[in-house]
């Protein structure tokens, strides 16, 4: 199994990534020297340089000061702490489009959370701090996209890391 670690600080510096284990190890060593999270304000975003196909596990460690921690991969956007209803997990686009889940979108303000997004060819599962928040069965086999973390409106999001792991 090959592991790719897409580290945000390196992406912000324009470092290209490959999915070789040797390169991932090199990235790990560089990451140890960088401790500052990436700050996203207003409509700021950060995107991996590589695209990924399922099956994949995406791990994001981030926090918001208020609203709008957003991710994109198997959906155009997942929204945690949506500005209109912080308790609703918004799922816009992709096979689960419009299947928003009430009671699953809230994350604490100013506290880092670990979001794990597992996408296989026929299912996606979303966890926050290891708590299952959302599942959907559908056709995810054609996805070949990068991972994006972004925000909207007046929110500030801090992103410690984006990590991906092929589940082949």
- Per residue in 62-97, pLDDT tens? 999 999 999 999 999 999 999 999 999 999 999 999
Residue indicated by tokens 């070949």: 144
Structure confidence by residue, pLDDT tens digits, 122-163:
999 999 999 999 999 999 999 999 999 999 988 999 999 999
pLDDT in tens, 15-41: 333 333 333 333 333 334 447 999 999
User: Rounded distance, CA 97 to CA 117, Å?
Assistant: 16
* pLDDT attached to residue 103: 98
Q: Which residues contact 168 (CB under 8 A, 6 or more apart)?
A: 1, 2, 55
Query: Per the structure block, which two tokens stand in for 13?
Result: 């510096």
- In the CATH hierarchy, which top-level class contains the domain 38-163? mainly beta
Helix ranges restricted to H, the chain: 8-12, 21-31
pTM of the model: 0.82
Would you list the domain boundaries of the chain?
A: 38-163
């Amino acid at each position: 199994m090959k592991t790719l670690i897409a580290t945000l600080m390196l992406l912000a510096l324009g470092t290209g990534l490959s999915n070789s284990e040797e390169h991932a190890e090199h990235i790990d060593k560089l990451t140890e020297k960088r401790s500052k999270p990436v700050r996203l304000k207003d409509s700021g975003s950060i995107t991996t340089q590589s695209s990924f196909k399922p099956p994949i596990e995406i791990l994001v460690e981030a926090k918001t000061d208020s609203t709008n921690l957003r991710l994109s991969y198997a959906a155009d956007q997942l929204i945690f702490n949506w500005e209109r209803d912080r308790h609703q997990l918004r799922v816009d686009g992709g096979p689960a489009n419009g299947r928003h889940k009430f009671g699953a979108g809230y994350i604490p303000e100013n506290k880092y959370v670990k979001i794990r997004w597992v996408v296989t060819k026929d299912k996606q599962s979303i966890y926050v701090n290891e708590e299952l928040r959302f599942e959907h069965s559908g056709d995810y086999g054609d996805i070949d996209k990068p991972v994006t973390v972004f925000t909207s409106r007046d929110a500030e999001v801090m992103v410690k890391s984006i990590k991906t792991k092929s589940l082949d």
